[in-house]
Amino acid sequence: QAVVTQEPSLTVSPGGTVTLTCGSSTGTVTSGHYPYWFQQKPGQAPRTLFYDTNNKHSWTPARFSGSLLGGKAALTLSGAQPEDEAVYYCLISYSGVWVFGGGTKLTVL
Amino acid sequence: EVQLVQSGTEVKNPGESLKISCQGSGYSFDNYWIAWVRQMPGKGLEWMGIIYPRDSDTRYSPSFRGQVTISADKSISTAYLQWSTLKASDTGTYFCMRLYGSWLQFGDYWGQGTLVTVSS
């Protein structure tokens, strides 16, 4: 089974910008992998931020954006807020077999 | 309002069976796929499998095939995740999630999670 890789941890200053990435052991992540991004805070269920690479939900803060960058899926946070501290997971499809990344713990400090 | 409401916390002994549920409301249940996701204590999310309640088309992650059974009863808008013989390693929180689209590329709502503890 393919392995999806994410940075284990990242730190961003309040108001700063950070990019989280999601790579694949099979090579380049493309739109055909239909990448998702989820946010999970301690003790809570995950929340879907983006689907199909860069499509956001009504509840997704505007400071988040999804994209493909350098052969990976990417989640960029511009203007980090304390409430953005969470673990972020990507999920990608390998022809209908879905695999989560290990998650990135984002600290806002 | 779309909601996925999961059944409550379970504490079981190894070897016992278990069936947990995820009930959808506020939308046409049989038009959307339901995925099950495991989160072991302190760990990340793992994709277990999905079901399309309209025709019970079910697809398992290779890691979970044969370990669990996913089913649905569209008449009561409920999806299920079932174990016939629980192991301590099944301890974790299990989430359901709604998806749709030809490639399941549209996903949105999650259930609140069901904590399953398997211990003697």
The strand pairing partners of B86, in sequence order, are: none
* DSSP code, position B26: S
Rounded distance between C-alpha atoms, residue B75 and residue B95, angstroms:
21
- pLDDT for A45-102, tens place per residue? 999 999 999 999 999 999 999 999 999 999 999 999 999 999 999 999 999 899 999 9
Chunked in runs of 10, what are the mean pLDDT values of chain B (120 residues)? 98 98 96 97 98 96 96 97 98 97 90 97
Cβ pair A1:B62 closer than 8 A: yes
A35–chain B Cβ distance below 8 A for any pair? no
pLDDT band for position A1 (50/70/90)?
Answer: confident
pLDDT attached to residue B102 = 86
A1–chain B Cβ distance below 8 A for any pair? yes
Rounded distance between C-alpha atoms, residue B42 and residue B79, angstroms:
26
* DSSP code, position A57: P
Q: Residue A20 pLDDT more than 90? A: yes
Q: Which residues of chain B neighbour A46 with C-beta distances below 8 Å?
A: 37, 45, 95, 97, 110
Cβ pair B111:A102 closer than 8 A: no
Nearest CA distance, B59 vs chain A (angstrom)? 9
Cβ pair A98:B107 closer than 8 A: no
On the 0-12 / 13-18 / 19+ scale of CB atoms within 10 A, A36 is buried
pLDDT attached to residue B105 = 86
A41–chain B Cβ distance below 8 A for any pair? no
